[in-house]
């Protein structure tokens, strides 16, 4: 039986009372919640205003036409950024820690479309010209993309400065609580800044679990001792069988403005879940959107609309890379690799060759001579120092994922989608449990995915399984668009590539 300690013994380890909370995680400025939110909002507004001005200038430069050229001398560069920021504010994009990145992209896109439609209505009163309409279309596309990247850059800056994310306490010290703390500390972009744990004074706390918790964040005291002058913005409860978190969150003496009840389940949606009133109680509506024929058709339509123009744009790049590969190592520049597709059907994905022609023999010899490399291969199915890779050109195209550019043709053929779980060789998928294998094979595989833009290749099989499960359970067309936009900086940075 596990050793337990009274809550009073644990409280003695706290460095300070709750009213002066100070966590051991990321640093946070000593400002109250209102000042923090105002500072974050100002930074986001400034980024959006700059992005909007650049979008307007880009639209004018590319089309050689002003949007409001014939509308009473209105200046595009002044009016559109002001209107855009006002609409973004009304959409809730300047809160500082919510909503989720994919939801923020959806709200941003709808806001920009609303601005574009309003501009069209306004221009129709002055005689809409083809030039103004074209300029507005280009500006709209630029405003969505530039605004997205500007927000990502500013959010990263605010995270580094310690002002992004709500001051958050986690109630409990069990495995759920410590796991949640680990996740929030590792992913500050989620918008929660954990500063410590609270414990239930009426319960005895497991010493082992408490020790693991203290290694992450301090135990700040008991829930019952929280004072209303606390500056904490969010309290997160982990729902478990022996702790009625939902009851405590609703009836307990908690002064926190927001309370979140965390559920330990990958089978539940988290992005688009809705509550439904069921008489005197309520339930959660859980959809499986990626399995609906209408959504699969929408996903396929988006693949075709986006892929054909991209193939035209990348064709010269692929041709140049093919010539460089043949110059570095005589042999074919392209090759087909067998992967596991939807419903377990084998597919041949087209790739630029980044390895020597005798790559497989080189790998066998290397693994036989280096046990550490063999261990790395068995865990990641990749090697940080891979003897198969061609010098300079092979390393370059793999680091930037350029070897996968020919797979746009697989997207056209319907074997891949632009976004989805990456198709792997059978020896890779055999490392997953049967339930996850079935889940993964039930949806279209993708050219890029959530794993590639978050952990990239540095995540092991457990991380990859978690990321892919999240994507499948929470799919929406907006999550796909978010992943596509996030893929560009991931390719440029080459983060985690092996």
pLDDT band at 85 (very low <50, low <70, confident <90, very high): very high
Provide the pLDDT for residue 117. 92
Q: How many CB atoms lie within 10 A of CB 452?
A: 26
* 205 vs 481, residue with greater confidence: 481
- Cβ(255)–Cβ(227) below 8 Å: yes
Provide the pLDDT for residue 410. 95
Please state, in angstroms and rounded to a whole number, the distance separating the CA atoms of residues 173 and 238. Answer: 9
Average pLDDT over residues 464-475: 88
pLDDT at 238 over 60: yes
Q: Which two tokens stand for residue 341?
A: 């597709």
pLDDT at 246 over 60: no
pLDDT band at 208 (very low <50, low <70, confident <90, very high): low
- Comparing C-alpha atoms, which of 195, 152, 155 is closest to residue 41? 155
Q: Which two tokens stand for residue 299?
A: 């996903």
Least confident window among 123-127, 391-395, 441-445:
123-127
Provide the pLDDT for residue 312. 94
pLDDT band at 253 (very low <50, low <70, confident <90, very high): low
Report the chain's mean pLDDT, rounded to a whole number: 80
Instruction: List the Cα angle 266/269/273 in 5-degree steps.
Output: 155
Least confident window among 28-32, 63-67, 93-97:
28-32
List, in order of start, the domains of the chain with CATH numbers: 4-28+163-264 (3.40.50), 33-161 (no CATH), 293-354+389-493 (no CATH)
- Cβ(182)–Cβ(17) below 8 Å: no
Least confident window among 81-95, 143-157, 364-378, 410-424:
364-378
| Cα dihedral 315, 320, 325, 327 in deg (nearest 10) | 150
Q: How many CB atoms lie within 10 A of CB 427?
A: 9
Least confident window among 20-24, 71-75, 450-454, 493-497:
20-24
Tell me the CA distances in angstroms from 107 to 41, 88, 271, one per residue in order: 16, 8, 14
The three-state (H, E, C) secondary structure of the chain, written as one string = CCCEECHHHHHCCCCCCHHHCCCCCCCCCCCCHHHHHHHHHHHHHHHHHHHHHHHHHHHHHHHCCCCCCCCCCCCHHHHHHHHHHHHHHHCCCCCCCCCCHHHHHHHHHHHHHHHHHHHHHHHHCCCCCHHHHHHHHHHHHHHHHHHHHHHHHHHHHHHHHCCCCEEEEEECCCHHHHHHHHHHHHCHHHCEEEEEEEECCCCCEEHHHHHHHHCCCCEEEEHHHCCCCCCCCEEEEECECCECHHHHHHHCCCCCCEEEEECCCCCCCCCCCEEEEECCEEEEECCCHHHCHHHHHHHHHHHHHHHHHHHHHHHHHHHHHHHHHHHHCCCCCEEEEEEECHHHCEEEEEEECCECCCHHHHHHHHHHHCHHHHHHHHHHCCCCCCCCECCCHHHHHHHCCHHHHHHHHHHHCCCCEEECCCCCCHHHHCCCCHHHHHHHHCCCCEEECHHHHHCHHHCCHHHHHHHHHHHHHCCCHHHHHHHHHHHHHHHHHCCCCC
- Comparing C-alpha atoms, which of 121, 142, 130, 188 is closest to residue 161? 188
pLDDT at 135 over 80: yes
Greatest mean pLDDT among 180-184, 276-280, 315-319, 363-367 lies in 315-319
pLDDT at 497 over 60: no
Provide the pLDDT for residue 29. 43
pLDDT single digits (tens) 382-437: 777 788 888 888 888 888 889 999 999 999 999 999 999 999 888 777 778 888 88
Provide the pLDDT for residue 74. 62
Buried b / exposed e over 35-46, threshold 16 CB at 10 Å, is ebbebbeebbbe
- Comparing C-alpha atoms, which of 193, 200, 191, 175 is closest to residue 11? 200
- Cβ(325)–Cβ(351) below 8 Å: no
Q: Which two tokens stand for residue 297?
A: 């058709």
Provide the pLDDT for residue 122. 82
pLDDT single digits (tens) 324-337: 999 988 889 998 98
Average pLDDT over residues 193-207: 69
Chain-centre distance for alpha carbon 291 = 21
Burial class (CB in 10 A: 0-12, 13-18, 19+), 360: exposed
* Residue whose tokens read 């609703």: 250
pLDDT single digits (tens) 259-276: 888 876 666 666 777 788
- Cβ(235)–Cβ(261) below 8 Å: no
Average pLDDT over residues 174-192: 84
Which is it for the CA torsion 294, 296, 299, 305, positive or negative?
negative
pLDDT at 154 over 70: yes
Average pLDDT over residues 454-458: 59
* 274 vs 250, residue with greater confidence: 274
């Amino acid at each position: 039986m596990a050793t337990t300690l009274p809550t009073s013994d644990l409280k003695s380890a706290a460095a300070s009372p709750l009213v002066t909370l100070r966590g051991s995680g990321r640093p946070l400025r000593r400002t109250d919640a209102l000042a923090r939110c105002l500072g974050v909002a100002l930074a986001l507004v400034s980024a959006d205003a700059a992005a909007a001005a650049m979008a307007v200038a880009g639209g004018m430069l590319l089309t050689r036409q002003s949007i409001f050229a014939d509308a009473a001398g209105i200046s595009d560069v002044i009016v559109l950024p002001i209107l855009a920021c006002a609409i973004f504010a009304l959409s809730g994009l300047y809160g500082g820690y919510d909503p989720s990145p994919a939801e923020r992209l959806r709200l941003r896109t709808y806001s920009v479309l609303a601005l574009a439609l309003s501009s069209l209505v306004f221009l129709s009163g002055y005689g809409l010209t083809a030039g103004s309409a074209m300029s507005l279309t280009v500006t709209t596309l630029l405003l969505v993309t530039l605004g997205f990247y500007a927000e990502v850059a500013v959010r990263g800056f605010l995270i580094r400065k310690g002002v992004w994310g709500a001051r958050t306490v986690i109630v409990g010290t069990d495995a759920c609580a410590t796991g949640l703390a680990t996740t929030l500390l590792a992913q500050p972009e989620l918008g929660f800044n954990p500063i410590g744990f609270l414990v239930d004074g009426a319960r005895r706390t497991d010493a082992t679990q408490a020790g693991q918790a203290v290694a992450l964040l301090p135990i700040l005291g008991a829930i019952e001792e929280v004072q209303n002058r606390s500056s904490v913005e969010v309290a997160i409860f982990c729902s478990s069988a022996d702790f009625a978190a939902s009851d405590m969150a609703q009836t307990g003496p908690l002064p926190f403005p927001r309370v979140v009840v965390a559920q330990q389940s990958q089978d539940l949606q988290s992005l688009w879940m809705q509550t439904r009133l069921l008489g005197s109680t309520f339930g959660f509506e859980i959809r499986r959107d990626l399995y609906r024929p209408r959504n699969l058709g929408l996903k396929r339509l988006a693949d075709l609309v986006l892929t054909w123009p991209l193939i035209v744009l990348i064709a010269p790049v692929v041709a140049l890379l093919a010539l460089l590969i043949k110059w570095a190592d005589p042999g074919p520049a392209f090759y087909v690799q067998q992967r596991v597709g939807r419903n377990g059907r084998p597919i041949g994905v087209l790739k630029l060759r980044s390895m020597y022609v005798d790559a497989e023999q080189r790998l066998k010899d290397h693994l036989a001579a280096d046990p550490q490399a063999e261990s790395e291969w068995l865990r990641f199915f990749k090697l940080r120092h891979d003897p198969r890779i061609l010098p300079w050109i092979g390393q370059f195209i793999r680091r930037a994922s350029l070897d996968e550019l020919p797979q746009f043709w697989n997207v056209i053929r319907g074997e891949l989608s632009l976004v989805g779980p990456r198709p792997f060789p059978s020896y890779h998928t055999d490392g997953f449990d049967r339930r996850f294998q079935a889940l993964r094979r039930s949806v279209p595989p993708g050219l890029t995915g959530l794993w590639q833009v978050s952990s990239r290749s540095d995540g092991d099989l457990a991380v990859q399984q978690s990321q892919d499960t999240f994507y499948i359970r929470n799919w929406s067309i907006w999550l796909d668009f978010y992943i596509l936009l996030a893929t560009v900086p991931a390719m440029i940075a080459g983060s985690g590539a092996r």
